[in-house]
Amino acid sequence: MRGAKAIRAGDSELVQIVDAALADSVRRSGAWLACRPDCTQCCVGVFAISQLDAFRLREGLAELERHDPERAARVRQRARAVLRRLRAGFPGDISTGILDESAGEFDDYANDEPCPVLDPETGRCDLYAARPMTCRVFGPPVRSESGLGVCELCFQGATAEQIAACELHLDGEKLEAELLARMEAATGKRGNTVVAFVLGQR
């Protein structure tokens, strides 16, 4: 892909920014966070990912194939199995994997489907270093249009003030938007997709 090297470098910078912000929020959150290895509630249910996330996941799977081809094959096998199950009623264009999120059909779609990157035996993410942004920021309080949201397992019994004091402050939105625009221009693919489509295609 034309410009892949520059996008790769930019994405690496973006990941560092987000991971640093996450580390700061995790430090402030302390025991309020329930996130730990083997806690997989946030790994169940299909969610939208950007084309930049898709690029990172493909790169992560290619890296895994070089170092642990058997594990990579299991990831791809799970992704293909999920993709077969997702075809019925896919809320978008199944030929491209691009979601149509405008109709609201995606809200209740495949909410019980485990992420194909989740190893069912270990309860760990097989592509953790390449995980999408949604996965990177899940757990700590994140601000959206509807207010400050947290994982339902975290901040049990915390006051609104205690939650607000742990808010995740992200500074990479501009860089992410620029990289996404370059990615979509380079590939011609515009719009969100899902993990299974990215990893289940050849």
Q: Which two tokens stand for residue 143?
A: 């601000």
Beta strand ranges found along the chain (DSSP E):
92-93, 98-99, 142-144, 147-149
pLDDT band at residue 20 under the 50/70/90 scheme: very high
Q: Look at the alpha carbons of 123, 17, 106, 81 in this order and tell me if their dihedral is positive or negative.
A: negative
Helix (H) or strand (E) holding 89: none
When the pLDDT of each residue in the chain is averaged and rounded to a whole number, the result is 92
pLDDT at 22 over 80: yes
pLDDT at 79 over 80: yes
**In this predicted structure, what is the pLDDT of residue 171?**
87
Q: Which two tokens stand for residue 73?
A: 């094959």
Give me the percent of the chain exceeding a pLDDT of 70: 99
pLDDT at 34 over 70: yes
Q: How far is CA 105 from CA 102, 116, 121, 157, in A?
A: 8, 21, 31, 33
110 forms beta bridges with none
Query: pLDDT tens-digit profile of 138-186?
Result: 989 998 888 888 888 999 999 999 999 999 998 889 999 999 999 999 9
Q: pTM here?
A: 0.92
Give CA–CA dist 78/154, Å, rounded: 29
Q: Which of 40, 31, 202, 17 is nearest to 123 (CA)?
A: 40
Q: Which two tokens stand for residue 127?
A: 């592509």
List alpha helices for 87-172, DSSP H.
133-136, 160-164
Of 57 and 95, the one with more pLDDT: 57
Query: pLDDT tens-digit profile of 84-136?
Result: 998 888 999 988 999 998 867 788 889 999 999 999 999 999 999 999 999 99
